[in-house]
Structure 1
Amino acid sequence: MNASPNPVERSFELAASRCADLTPLVYRRLFEEHPETRAMFRTQGSELVMGAMLALTIEAILDFAGQRRGHFRLIACEVVSHDGYGTPRELFIAFFGVIRDTLRDLLGDEWSPQIAQTWDRLLTEIDAFAGVPA
């Protein structure tokens, strides 16, 4: 398997080689950094919802960071959907940073300056795309 030249995609490839499921790591961090999010998930069956939500988010991130063939549009749709749930946009956008930080911790020494810079730029672009005021 050839490594992706896209640093964001590469970060997910490296993470996949270390961890079969990012879901528990991402949500543990989300709940630690934003305790108010825990109440947003029902007690039973939430693992499936969390896993599906993360999978769709990763798919949107990879498309946004790559060729933008359409999956990235999910971000804009979900901003509106989460607005309807009463989720502040800043909190919605924070989820992307939580994913980045989880990958960074998982990759350790393999989290290169190039990966870091590309993720920083990506998060700024997602903020602008989702219409979060500065």
Structure 2
Amino acid sequence: MNASPNPIEISFELAASRCEDLTPLVYRRLFDEHPETQTLFRQEGRELVTGSMLALAIEAILDFAGQRRGHFRLIACEVASHDGYGTPRQLFITFFAIIRDTMRDLLGDQWSTEMARAWDQLLVEIDAFVGTAA
């Protein structure tokens, strides 16, 4: 594993070493904390959709927290798309916090103060970015 100075990237690298697939953990937490979201997903093929959504979200997070080469723009596109589905913007932002919280719990004592600060800042910036994308 190449050491990255970016705490967001480090958190994903550590999570990948502990868990092959974050999808079930993230969506279990989402559905537990926001049961109303279950109806937003079709039953048939749900695993494909949730896995794809999480992969795209992670790619956007890593770009947003890193060099911002363009993948982060997917966030604004998905906000607009989810508006069309009737998903409240705040719930869309909550999804990123669900990812953070899932990783924090997964990493346990490997979750550092730097990671916590970086994720908190990232969520503030994504919230602001989504607000400007309106």
1:3 CA drift (Å): 1.6
| Alignment partner, residue 39 of structure 2 | 39
| Alignment partner, residue 123 of structure 1 | 123
| Alignment partner, residue 50 of structure 2 | 50
Question: What do the CA deviations read for 1:96-116 (whole angstroms, capped 9, x no partner)?
Answer: 000000000000001000000
Distance 2:2 2:95 in 1: 29
Structure 1 residues not aligned, in runs of 5+: none
- TM (normalized to structure 2)? 0.97
Give every structure 1 segment of 4 or more consecutive aligned residues whose post-TM-superposition deviation is greater than 4 Å. Answer: none
Distance 1:95 1:122 in 2: 13
SS of the residue aligned with 1:131?
helix
Structure 2 residues not aligned, in runs of 5+: none
Give yes or no for the alignment of 1:27 onto 2:27.
yes
Distance 1:36 1:26 in 2: 15
- TM (normalized to structure 1)? 0.97
Equivalenced residues, count = 132
Q: Once superposed, what is the RMSD of the aligned Cα atoms?
A: 0.8
| Seq. identity, % | 78
Distance 1:119 1:36 in 2: 25
1:2 CA drift (Å): 1.6
Question: What do the CA deviations read for 1:18-55 (whole angstroms, capped 9, x no partner)?
Answer: 00000000000000011000001111101000000000
Aligned ranges 1:1-134 → 2 under 5 Å: 1-131=1-131
